[in-house]
Amino acid sequence: MYRQSIEDPEAFWGHAAEEIFWEKRWNKVLGNSSGPYYRWFEGGVLNTCHNCLDLHVERGKGEHTALIYDSPVTSTIQKFSYRELRDLVAMCAGGLVQHGVKKGDRVVIYMPMIPETVIAMLACARIGAIHSVVFGGFAARELAARIRDAHPTMIISASCGIEISRVIPYKPLLDEAITLSGTGPVQCVICQRPHAQATLIEGRDISWDTLMDAQPVPCVPCKATDPLYILYTSGTTGIPKGVVRDNGGHLVALTWSMRYIYGMKPGEVFWAASDVGWVVGHSYIVYAPLAYGCTTILYEGKSVGTPDPGAFWRVIAEHGVDVLFTAPTAFRAIKREDPEGVYIKKYDLSRFRMLFLAGERCDPDTLHWAENRLSVPVIDHWWQTETGWAIGANTAGLGLLPVKAGSCTKPVPGYDVHVLDDHGEELAPSQSGTIAIKLPLPPGCLTTLWNNDHDFYKTYLSEYPGYYLTGDAGFIDREGYLWIMGRTDDIINTAGHRLSTGAMEEVLASHPDVAECAVTGVADEVKGEIPVGFVVLKAGVHRDPSRIEQELILMVRERIGPIASFKLALVVRRLPKTRSGKILRGTIKKIADGAEYRVPATIDDPAILDEIKQSLAIRGYAKQQNK
Ligand code: COA
Ligand code: AMP
């Protein structure tokens, strides 16, 4: 299958596309009339929401459970059949239309993990509006940047999110974001949760109930190439990139992946323990399991720190979960709380057959711990917001290959993965380099960046002509296994969340006492990696460094959000630089990683490297370091 997908992608994906419902078949499986901007299934017409809901009802599966909302933080479990979900979505879509949302309009969704979020996403898909879900842990400024770029006709939000036992009001953040965005008034829909009542602004805000007081509307035909959604992700600067996903290719790839990557059968229960604000949530809480006719779980809670330390096992046992997908960080947190797996034994996990991990590199210890405690295959697979589904995986539906801990097994059909050196030359097996994917990317991957073809080309396609640059480094071993070792840019992964250190540097640099700064990642036992800032104070500033650190931590929390997990800002005398004044970020990163590093010949003050090392050691982040 892999060979066919690379040698004859049109035949391969044309065949896969037969699995979904088209109102009109495509003219061409793969069009590249616009240069490097490939388009899948040109001429095809379909509706994603129809495939996810109506089709199952029409085929007699209306009473099957589509969605289970399980919220330990509100002590709620609510089930929706395919028929119930379709009816709610059709009503919500009617409400959107009634309030002026048209095909192609953008709708920003800034919501916690509640059923209304899924309903709103599918309602947009139903009428061809383009949703842009913003993760609830982002601060007002980040939300503002997304509003500014997407220019929505409507924003759907909620009165609050719940972080274990903390109630986080969303409305003040939303109001501030709208002001900061400078885009002028935009209609807002607020879902009032019992834990906090938001004050609605007359003439601008309506309640969720008012939106839902509408006549249901049918699905609107969409072109395969029409955008389904925009999902903003961290780039190398403070400006997030709006990844654009289409309708046709996306649905074909996700449906294919349910069978061949995850080894699922329609009717089974799939649980992606992530958040709808991330790509994992888009693809595997909402679109893929529903399109494939599975039951999906929307879990509002954490892997640990909920009232029940066996929270994950309770959900698996109670809802008969067949396959779980989450980030390694969730398992590191569980391992720390329950190293012997005592809570695992308390639940009947007999139906549970596989665990998939992604979002960050999975350390072999965590992988083995999960294998031993759960006695099921544990599969590390690699993907990105940009691709929307896995690039490298052990494809369960095609028969599992032997696991090599630390590797994400092999490239998935559709992805022609190469390891290149700085000149774009192919590297020999086991040699590390830049990981690039030969064009065309398979269906489901980003088609461009919102309103920004230029940056799409520049960021991903220009460096190695004919290839998509993943931003990851690693190697392919002699047996063809893929090893993803880290990013080549300034993006870090904290608890499976993708963050830009550049964005954090912009915040730190705006502090009045800071002359210059550098942010990098440092290893963390649970979150994999957390950001650490090194700051140099302006001459003449003699304030207590710990006060300044607290201010910087607060600034990052307020401007980027708590999700940045920014808790370390170390004041240093100066930053290591070349004699020409360039900050040696690579060397700082190596020190933070405890990796081998050479003192660069061009460094202006070698002693500063020891100072950086010591400042990390004092805070408990010392690692064995060699020169
Ligand atoms: N709204 C507001 N705040 C949020 C939020 C949201 N939706 N989500 C997270 N936050 C806050 C948290 O409360 C925390 O704040 P704090 O610094 O005041 O404690 C901060 O953002 C960092 O959150 P997180 O990285 O999730 O850390 P945590 O310590 O709260 O939980 C885990 C750690 C591992 C238990 C948790 O991340 C988890 O269960 N992850 C599951 C896997 C996952 O979500 N993967 C995503 C990609 S697949
Ligand atoms: P995101 O876009 O948030 O999904 O983050 C994508 C990035 O996370 C990738 O480019 C990788 O750097 C990292 N990543 C995701 N999955 C894995 C994995 N299985 N192994 C190593 N790194 C991963």
| In a domain? residue 226 | yes
Burial string for 398-422 (b: 16+ CB within 10 Å, else e) reads beeeebbeebbbbbbbbbbbbbbee
Q: Rounded CA gap, 190 and 487, in Å?
A: 38
Is the confidence at residue 35, as pLDDT, over 80?
no
Q: pLDDT-based confidence at 590, cuts 50/70/90?
A: confident
| In a domain? residue 309 | no
Is the confidence at residue 617, as pLDDT, over 60?
yes
Mean per-residue pLDDT for 306-310? 77
Ligand 2 centroid–CA 327 distance in Å is 10
| Same-domain pairing of 394 and 522 | no
| Same-domain pairing of 218 and 274 | yes
Mean per-residue pLDDT for 1-21? 97
* Pocket mutation for ligand 2, best pick of 472, 476, 483, 563 (most atoms within 8 Å of C-beta): 472
| Same-domain pairing of 128 and 20 | yes
| Same-domain pairing of 159 and 215 | yes
Please name which ligand lies nearest the alpha carbon of 277.
1
| Same-domain pairing of 462 and 546 | no
| In a domain? residue 114 | yes
Is the confidence at residue 237, as pLDDT, over 90?
no
Residue 484 CA, closest ligand 2 atom number: 21
- The residue whose CA has the least distance to atom 16 of ligand 1 is 562
| Same-domain pairing of 38 and 119 | yes
From 441, 475, 509, the end of a domain falls on: 475
Please name which ligand lies nearest the alpha carbon of 333.
1
Residue 493 CA, closest ligand 2 atom number: 8
- Which tokens belong to 449? 């960046």
| Same-domain pairing of 118 and 191 | yes
Domain of residue 107, residue span: 2-301+381-475
CATH of the domain at 575: 3.30.300.30
Mean per-residue pLDDT for 115-142? 97
Q: pLDDT-based confidence at 413, cuts 50/70/90?
A: very high
Domain count across the chain: 2
| Same-domain pairing of 499 and 441 | no
- What pLDDT score does 626 carry? 38
Query: Ligand 2: which residues within 6 Å by Cβ?
Result: 233, 279, 358-361, 380-385, 408, 471-472, 484, 487, 493, 498
Q: Rounded CA gap, 452 and 416, in Å?
A: 25
| Same-domain pairing of 430 and 554 | no
Query: Ligand 1: which residues within 6 Å by Cβ?
Result: 136-137, 161, 163, 168, 273-275, 278, 280, 302-304, 326-327, 329-330, 333, 359, 495-497, 526, 562-563, 565
Burial string for 40-64 (b: 16+ CB within 10 Å, else e) reads bbbbbbbbbbbbbbbbbbeeebbeb
Q: Rounded CA gap, 263 and 241, in Å?
A: 32
| In a domain? residue 41 | yes
| Same-domain pairing of 444 and 544 | no
| In a domain? residue 34 | yes
Write down the pTM of the prediction: 0.94
Ligand 2 centroid–CA 529 distance in Å is 12
| In a domain? residue 461 | yes
What average pLDDT is seen over the chain?
94
- In order, the DSSP letters of 475-510 are EE-TT--EEEEEESSSEEEETTEEEEHHHHHHHHHT
| In a domain? residue 422 | yes
- Do the beta carbons of residue 53 and residue 290 sit within 8 Å? yes
| Same-domain pairing of 275 and 150 | yes
Q: pLDDT per residue over 321-337, tens digit each?
A: 999 999 999 999 999 88
Mean per-residue pLDDT for 529-538? 95
| Same-domain pairing of 29 and 134 | yes
Ligand 1 centroid–CA 167 distance in Å is 14
From 475, 505, 524, the end of a domain falls on: 475
CATH of the domain at 7: 3.40.50.12780
Ligand 1 centroid–CA 495 distance in Å is 7
| In a domain? residue 466 | yes
Is the confidence at residue 466, as pLDDT, over 70?
yes
Ligand 2 centroid–CA 274 distance in Å is 14
Q: pLDDT per residue over 472-491, tens digit each?
A: 999 999 999 999 988 888 88
Cα separation values, 428 from 218, 431, 432, 435, Å: 54, 6, 9, 13
Q: pLDDT per residue over 436-448, tens digit each?
A: 999 999 999 999 9
Please name which ligand lies nearest the alpha carbon of 388.
2
